[in-house]
Amino acid sequence: MVEAATEIADLTLDELRLALAPAVADAAIFDGWSEEAVSMAAQQMGADVDVARLAFKGGPIEMVFAWIEAVDISMAAAFPEDVIAPMKIRERIRALVQFRLDAVAGQEEALRRALAIMALPQNVAQSAKRGWRSADLMWRLAGDTATDYNHYTKRAILASIYGATVAVFVDDASEGKAETRAFLDRRIDGVMKFEKVKAKWLNPDRETFSVTRFLGRLRYPAR
């Protein structure tokens, strides 16, 4: 315990913020995203309470963003190349989103409160950027290397899917979050179908429409 406390004391404020974030989320279930939650987390982790509060001087939104970043880091660690490479692209995206949901299971009340904080007018722009970063990380872990406009559309669509799925997740009382899993599957299926159609129409090598060939077929129909 003494050794752990020493290690905590050696962390920079940025490192301490990430280390405390999951415990702050646990405390936020009862105390909200507040200084009380930070103090509770600090005591639990053996950190100096005053230093912990300094690490979260940005207030509730900084606590929420630290929690999201902590999940990002855990997700990246859970999906190294050898784990994700054998999966098809659809399976990769689904597994990454599901990991994030599983990571906050049991913390639905903290998540609900976090979403409310992120939706405040003064936080909307920052929250959108934070969501984009998580979507970008998921696509990069999935192996996406697009640099054209697809880079942006993929991330915008995934951020939308994830946001909608989280909204279902927080109120899902079905066993094993079955409703959330089904919702996620439907959304990913829809995106995959859209991507196939888009690839077909944007493929420069596809067969183009020919008026001459069309008229010729009307005159001499194939037998």
Instruction: Summarize pLDDT for 95-149 with one digit per residue, the tens.
Output: 999 999 999 999 999 999 999 999 999 999 999 999 999 999 999 999 998 878 7
The pLDDT tens digits of the residues spanning 35-70 come to: 999 999 999 999 999 999 999 999 999 999 999 999
| Inside any domain, residue 25 | no
Which residues, other chains included, contact 163 with Cβ-Cβ below 8 Å and sequence gap of 6+? 131
> DSSP character for 120?
S
Total domains, the chain: 1
Tokens 């999966």 belong to which residue?
87
Residue 144 is assigned to a structural domain of this protein: yes
Confidence of residue 200 (pLDDT cuts 50, 70, 90): low
Q: Environment class of residue 128 by beta-carbon count within 10 Å: exposed (0-12), middle (13-18) or buried (19+)?
A: middle
Structural domain span for residue 219: 87-223
Exposed, middle or buried, 202 (CB in 10 Å: 0-12/13-18/19+)?
A: exposed
pLDDT value at residue 178: 97
Is position 41 within any domain? no
pLDDT of residue 4: 54
Residue 9 lies in a domain: no
What pLDDT, on the 0 to 100 scale, is given for residue 198?
58
pTM of the model: 0.84
Tokens 């005591």 belong to: 43
Average pLDDT over residues 175-197: 85
State residue 2's pLDDT score.
Answer: 39
Give residue 172's identity as a one-letter amino acid code. Answer: D
Torsion angle of the four alpha carbons 152, 155, 158, 163, in this order, in degrees rounded to the nearest 10: -110
pLDDT tens column, 78-100:
999 999 999 999 999 999 999 99
pLDDT at 192: 73
Distance CA 175, CA 129 (A): 33
pLDDT at site 149:
79
Locate 78 and state its tokens: 């859970």
Average pLDDT over residues 171-196: 88
Which CATH number characterizes residue 213's domain? Answer: 1.10.357
Distance CA 27, CA 218 (A): 73
